[in-house]
Amino acid sequence: MTISDAALAARATVQPKLLRGAHILVAGASGLIGSLIVSTLHELNQHLHLGVSIVAAARHTEHMRELFADLSDVEIVSLDVSDAVAVSELTASMQQNPLTHVIHAASPANPALFSRSPVETMQSNIQGLINLLTLARRHEVSRFVYISSGEVYGYTHGWHLMKENELGELDVLSPRSCYPQAKRASETLGISAISEYGIPVVIARLSHVFGPGFLASDNRISADFFKRASAGQAIELRSAGLDHRTMIYVSDCVSAILSLLTVGKAGVAYNVTNSNNLTTVAQFSALIARTAAVAFTHGDPTPDWDEQTSLQRATALDDSLLRELGWSPAISVEEGVERTLSSLR
């Protein structure tokens, strides 16, 4: 019998008993990561009897009701975190049972949206965090985990495993920078909230996360290729796909986030990745195609491409700081691809 992703994440969470009796808000609970966070907290309740109360919040509740309607420890809430009035009303409604922890995983992360609505992308990211920090301050939470992105690293000449104290280049005059710039600004906002208000913010910089559970509307390249492969369609990569990435399977991502909730240090940013899963876009796409037994093609590299000097997005991250907390990933990229395709069949 194959163990569930929630059970895998629960097993790998560092010191989960520190969450005993907690009242946790998971904002963005309908997405790939947020939904598994909720399921994993429920799994921890079932097996460790932690008595955690879980508030699963997202703009649309339909998917959450499909997943969590029968779970007595989960309260489903419709919430747009960028709506200050709605967040304030939620804050007031919970004064008799204050929140103790917040995981902020609600963020527009659709590349098509970045091009179509860059202003709204920045606004929703930054305003959403402001509103949840206000909530956290009023509830005097003991830990606030902000889900940032490896996109904050920007671009570098050549590649190496990026550590948390490094930053690459970003063109501030490019609308495509709306998302990484918003994430950079939000990280500074979180750190400022520690300094000014004492809110214990921990930052999780996610690398490329993959696995089952993504929404049908998800048009990221990995989700698109998994959908094509599971339908028996060929995978066509238009570029040469030479950029290096460190990939993390969704259960490992969730166990890392929950470990930051328990033992992560306030004011510190952690790369949430699996540095052992180092691959290129072409290699990862070819692995999906090979595992699903479908055809795979890719484009040719440009004549001036040089792996060591060409400007490329910094998407290969170092996970050493996260591992120092006692966390370790369990799923290789090969096993993760197999598990994802198996769930989609």
CB-CB neighbours of 222 under 10 Å = 21
User: For 293-340, what is each residue's pLDDT tens digit?
Assistant: 999 999 888 877 777 788 889 999 999 999 999 999 999 999 999 999
Q: What is the mean pLDDT of residues 25-30?
A: 96
pTM: 0.96
Determine how β-strand 235-237 pairs with β-strand 296-298: parallel
Percent of the residues in the chain that have a pLDDT greater than 90, as a whole number = 84
In order of their start, the domains of the chain are: 5-210+248-273+314-332 (3.40.50.720)
Q: What's residue 107's pLDDT? A: 87
Q: What's residue 318's pLDDT? A: 98
Buried b (16+ CB within 10 A) or exposed e, 236-268: ebeeebbbbbbbbbbbbbbbbbbbbbbbbebee
Q: What is the mean pLDDT of residues 29-37?
A: 95
User: For 267-285, what is each residue's pLDDT tens digit?
Assistant: 999 999 999 999 999 999 9
User: For 241-260, what is each residue's pLDDT tens digit?
Assistant: 888 999 999 999 999 999 99
Q: What's residue 303's pLDDT? A: 77
User: For 149-179, what is each residue's pLDDT tens digit?
Assistant: 999 999 999 899 999 999 999 999 999 999 9
Q: What's residue 214's pLDDT? A: 77
Q: What's residue 105's pLDDT? A: 97
* Average pLDDT of the chain, as a whole number: 94
CB-CB neighbours of 303 under 10 Å = 5
User: Among residues 244, 245, 255, 249, which one has the least CA distance to residue 226?
Assistant: 249
Q: What's residue 53's pLDDT? A: 97
pLDDT band at 216 (very low <50, low <70, confident <90, very high): low
> Helix, strand, coil % (nearest 5) of the chain?
45, 20, 35
